[in-house]
Structure 1
Amino acid sequence: MTREAKALVCRDWNKPVQVETITVAPPQRNEITIKVAACGVCHSDLSAATGKIQMPPPLVLGHEGAGRVVAVGEGVTAFKEGDAVISSFISMCGKCRQCVRGRPVLCENASKALVTLPDGTVRTHDKDGKPLNVFGACGVMAEYATLHVDNAVKIDQDVPLQNAALVGCAVMTGVGAVFNTAQLEPGSRAAVFGVGGVGLNAIQGCRTAGAEMIVAVDTNSEKLELARQFGATHTINAKDEPDAAKAVKKLTGGVDYAFECVGAGSVVAQAYKTLGKGGTAIVVGVADPSDKTSFSTLSLPAEERTIKGSWLGSARPQYDFPRILALYKAGNLKLDELITRTYSIDEAPQAFADMEKGLNARGVIVFD
């Protein structure tokens, strides 16, 4: 059946997002409908609302969600009503070169489901019956969402869904950058630039992987204190240091891994400068398409440095999401502590305003 749902919609870039009542059509073949329990408020949603990430409006926002299945479409065998799931904004065809070599996050056909379901259509419409695009084939900043089965990952029933939701983006991006992209070795020295929701998870990823030193760099003293709770051994407030990269290198002698979690070319350059010989810089933040960075070309061969990108922590969602939750259940990863405020769907515009001010580690919209 078609369901009515409150949802957060971007009608125009750089205009205030708004809560609307939309309709969500039932699942078709290989699709499921979920009742969303919680959705994290991510900077990527803000970037979509401003046009920094160019997803054409009108757009139902939200990609970092969790909920329970309330309907299954024809041909669905992996899910049943009542299952707990996390949404995954990575669409993967399973057949292209990247998918078959175990890199589904780089699926060559993923762009087909950037703002629709994989078949190019949507199940979401406004009150006038006009179609609404959905962020990353998800659109889970809504009370209900219909997803393709490849955009949902089944999880254990006993995980709190507002915590599980964060695994769909922030946790996977930060922890995955450490585990999958960097493959950080125990005893390593690391620096993390930017300690918002993603950076905090990079820090706890480094801690879990056995890093010897973890230096957190940011301009927000409150977030730097939070970084220590997540495993940072040292903190540097970039406001107090004329050259934060130099300060990191003086403290560490040069790190083995530097994680840029801001999305700015200038910060990428700083992160790269902190590397010791043989070090690797991991670019995690999503920068403006016109943004550039620069570093010494000679340092690449002469010091065998490496610079790598990391998209959603080089995720394999069906494998990595449950693995991360297993670490959480074993007490090795913090999820509860990431949530600094919850909001109702009607308070979603305020959640965006608070995110722009940097007030939360992670704000989460919780549905009744």
Structure 2
Amino acid sequence: MRAAVLFNYKEPLTIQDIQIDEPKDNEVLVQITATGMCHSDVNVFVGATPVPPPVVAGHEITGVVKKVGRGVTRVKEGDRVVSAFIHPCGKCRNCISGKENLCETQASVRLKGVMFDGTTRLKLKDGREVHIFLGGGFAEYAIVHENALTVVPNDIPLEKAAPLGCAGITAYGAVNNAKIEPGETVAVIGVGGVGLSVIQLLKASGAGRIIALGTKKWKLEKAMELGATDVINTKESDPVKTLKQITNGGPDVVIEAAGTQETIQMAVDGVRIGGRVVLVGLPPVSAQIPLRIASIVRGGITIIGNYGGRPRVDMPRLLELVRLGKYDPSKLVTGKFKLEEINEAVKVLEEGEAIRSLIVP
């Protein structure tokens, strides 16, 4: 099969013919229809998320099941599926206690670029192993653990469902963990795929005022289209001062979806006394971000780390919201690229001119 392989950090991807093995126990071979391009993939390409090359990234995957391994019960051949970026083992302490988004087994292999058994299913023609990042969707086929997969109803186009695999399920987890009460004021920092999904889900959940903060005028306009009631361009005004002024002391909740030192500090400084901050954006693995602890303690601020949602529980709910028209992942898609055009998609994303590009093999 063909795949977009990274051989060295900060170098272009190359299209290679590589070998893909048969699925093992509880694994599924998926023929890929579309894979969304996320900033987390770019972090792999530049070495900020140091999965060892050669590696195939891509984790917002939709496709059709072509073959199932022994013991698979969740899907069958011919099913149309979406894959979450979280692949729960279903057996570790967190999985069995209802926190499968924090699967300890996946956490142990995530940066190694291998499956649960410590090996990969991809090889170059010379026999070298090729690693994967959360699925390896920038290819024609992928091997995925069955617990990451959800069957997509026939009335939802597969391409439309692709952003659910990361942007959608991450946003769902953030809104769910924030425990939004009807009418609460919520600020969303970052208006990329996750932030714009958060805004749609906040509207669906009954939040009151929804304030989007970002730097790109066209993305802020998109935020208003999708449910934001107010926007703040953080390049044109002091965001914390403006946020506190227009909300009379700060929002009840701030959901941070950009993952930089500046935006994380903005979230903590901008929330009201007694408020909640949900951290969603992922900075580079090596980043250490200082916070003013005294202001957090004196302000009684709750900081919640959120790593996505639960694939087997939350993905079916997301799909139902899509069917009902309360969440539209296709509104995030700003372009489609063939597999051999993938470096162009990377460039557009790095320049801030894309929300979600689909790579369609």
**How does the TM-score come out when normalised to structure 1?**
0.93
Aligned residue-pair number: 358
Query: 1:14-33 residue pairs with structure 2 within 5 A?
Result: 14-33=10-29
Work out whether 1:140 is the aligned partner of 2:134. no
2:307 corresponding residue in structure 1? 311
1:7 corresponding residue in structure 2? 3
2:90 corresponding residue in structure 1? 94
Considering only aligned residues, what root-mean-square deviation do their CA atoms show, in Å?
A: 1.5
> Do the aligned residues in 1 keep the contact of 2:197 with 2:329 (CA within 8 Å)?
no
CA distance in 2, matches of 1:232, 1:247: 16
SS at match of 1:127: coil
Q: CA deviation at 1:291?
A: 3.0
2:352 corresponding residue in structure 1? 358
Deviations 1:10-34 (A, max 9, x none): 1111111222222212222222111
Q: CA deviation at 1:43?
A: 0.5
Q: CA deviation at 1:113?
A: 3.5
CA distance in 1, matches of 2:228, 2:20: 43
Q: CA deviation at 1:216?
A: 0.8
> Do the aligned residues in 2 keep the contact of 1:91 with 1:118 (CA within 8 Å)?
no
**In percent, how many aligned pairs have the same letter?**
38
Question: Which of the residues 34, 39, 47 maps onto 1:38?
Answer: 34
1:332 corresponding residue in structure 2? 326
Work out whether 1:131 is the aligned partner of 2:129. yes
1:118 corresponding residue in structure 2? 116
CA distance in 2, matches of 1:139, 1:165: 14
SS at match of 1:44: helix
SS at match of 1:212: coil
SS at match of 1:47: helix
Deviant stretches of 4+, over 4 Å: none
Q: Counterpart of 2:342 in structure 1: which amino acid?
A: A
Q: CA deviation at 1:301?
A: 4.0
Q: CA deviation at 1:327?
A: 0.4
Q: CA deviation at 1:294?
A: 4.0
2:174 corresponding residue in structure 1? 177
CA distance in 1, matches of 2:103, 2:296: 28
CA distance in 1, matches of 2:94, 2:197: 26
Work out whether 1:248 is the aligned partner of 2:243. yes
Q: CA deviation at 1:128?
A: 2.1
Q: CA deviation at 1:74?
A: 2.3
Q: CA deviation at 1:85?
A: 1.3
Question: Which of the residues 68, 88, 103 maps onto 1:72?
Answer: 68
Q: CA deviation at 1:217?
A: 0.8
SS at match of 1:277: coil
CA distance in 2, matches of 1:126, 1:158: 38
CA distance in 2, matches of 1:236, 1:122: 45
1:51 corresponding residue in structure 2? 47
**How does the TM-score come out when normalised to structure 2?**
0.95
1:217 corresponding residue in structure 2? 213
Q: Counterpart of 1:161 in structure 2: which amino acid?
A: L
Question: Which of the residues 316, 321, 327 maps onto 1:322?
Answer: 316
Deviations 1:212-271 (A, max 9, x none): 111111111111101101111111111111x21111111112101111111112211111
Deviations 1:65-92 (A, max 9, x none): 0101011222323321110111233232
Q: Counterpart of 1:269 in structure 2: which amino acid?
A: Q
CA distance in 2, matches of 1:294, 1:73: 46
Which consecutive residues of structure 1, in runs of 5 or more, have no partner in the other structure? none
SS at match of 2:272: strand
SS at match of 1:159: coil
Q: CA deviation at 1:168?
A: 0.6
Query: 1:220-235 residue pairs with structure 2 within 5 A?
Result: 220-235=216-231
Q: CA deviation at 1:295?
A: 4.2
SS at match of 2:154: coil
Which consecutive residues of structure 2, in runs of 5 or more, have no partner in the other structure? none
